[in-house]
Amino acid sequence: MNVYDFDCTIFYPDSSVCFILYCLAHYPRSVLPGVPMSLVCGLRYGLKRVDTRRLKEQLFSFLSRLPDVEQIVDDFWEKNRHRLQKWYLEQKRDGDLIISASPEFLLSPIAKELRASLIATPMDRYTGRIYGKNCHGVEKVRRFRLAFPDATVESFYSDSLSDAPMAELAHKAFLIDREEIRPWPKT
């Protein structure tokens, strides 16, 4: 099985940021009311007073004010599909696994289109509330083993060294910098 991080790996840049900006541009009345609290939460995150989960929930709190989340997500992918990296599209195989800290509701349509399995952060598409843990670092390994207890990871691809726990599971691991693919650094 080949396993891929999503943001800044097979999609550039970050899908959550792109989605929030897309919604801000197309649905400003839904997004703008939450901006002041998101800025405060971002500052508190920078000061290590709130965790990533709380920050994400605040950033996505505008979802409750959107008219049709499913349609908006589909429209987002229609406009942003071109951000999928060429190197991935050339080597992808049915049955690839995408494992990401981005919200599951956001990545589900594109994962389905790519014929890839998906493990991502479980977020309510209507409220922005996260159920469970943010799918990052060692949580990716825990969730991977829950879903695929006996699977072997042939190759793992990520843009971030924070994915070292997943890289350690793979026979081969690669660090991605846009279109540049390098072997995972030895530790």
pLDDT tens by residue, 101-132? 999 999 999 999 999 999 999 999 999 999 99
DSSP string, 106-128: HHHHHHHHTT-EEEEE-B-TTT-
Local confidence band at 179 (pLDDT 50, 70, 90 cut-offs): confident
* Domain boundary assignment for the chain: 2-183
User: What does the pLDDT read at residue 46?
Assistant: 97
User: What does the pLDDT read at residue 164?
Assistant: 97
Local confidence band at 186 (pLDDT 50, 70, 90 cut-offs): confident
User: What does the pLDDT read at residue 36?
Assistant: 97
Q: Which tokens hold the place of 154? A: 């042939």
Q: Which of 111, 32, 23, 20 is nearest to 68 (CA)?
A: 23
The CATH architecture one would assign to domain 2-183 is 3-Layer(aba) Sandwich (3.40)
Taking all residues of the chain, what is their mean pLDDT, rounded to a whole number?
A: 97
Q: What is the DSSP letter of 7?
A: B
Strand pairing class (170-177; 180-183): antiparallel
Report the pLDDT averaged over residues 69-92. Answer: 97
Percent of the chain having pLDDT more than 70? 99
Which runs of consecutive H residues, i.e. helices, occur in 60-184? Answer: 69-80, 86-91, 104-113, 138-147, 164-167
Assess whether pLDDT exceeds 80 at residue 56: yes
Report the pLDDT averaged over residues 76-96. Answer: 97
Report the pLDDT averaged over residues 142-158. Answer: 97
Q: Which tokens hold the place of 186? A: 């030895």
Assess whether pLDDT exceeds 80 at residue 187: no
List pLDDT tens digits, range 13-38: 999 999 999 999 999 999 999 999 99
Angle among Cα 187, 138, 164 to the nearest 5 degrees reads 25
User: What does the pLDDT read at residue 130?
Assistant: 98
Amino acid at 35: V
**For the whole model, what pTM was predicted?**
0.96
Produce one character per residue of 98-111: b if its CB has 16 or more CB atoms within 10 Å, e if not: bbbbbbbbbbbbbb
User: What does the pLDDT read at residue 61?
Assistant: 98
Assess whether pLDDT exceeds 90 at residue 100: yes
Q: Which of 143, 59, 57 is nearest to 99 (CA)?
A: 143
Asked if residue 130 lies in contact with residue 57, where contact means CB atoms within 8 angstroms, the answer is yes
Whole-number Å distance between alpha carbons of 3 and 57: 26
Asked if residue 107 lies in contact with residue 98, where contact means CB atoms within 8 angstroms, the answer is yes
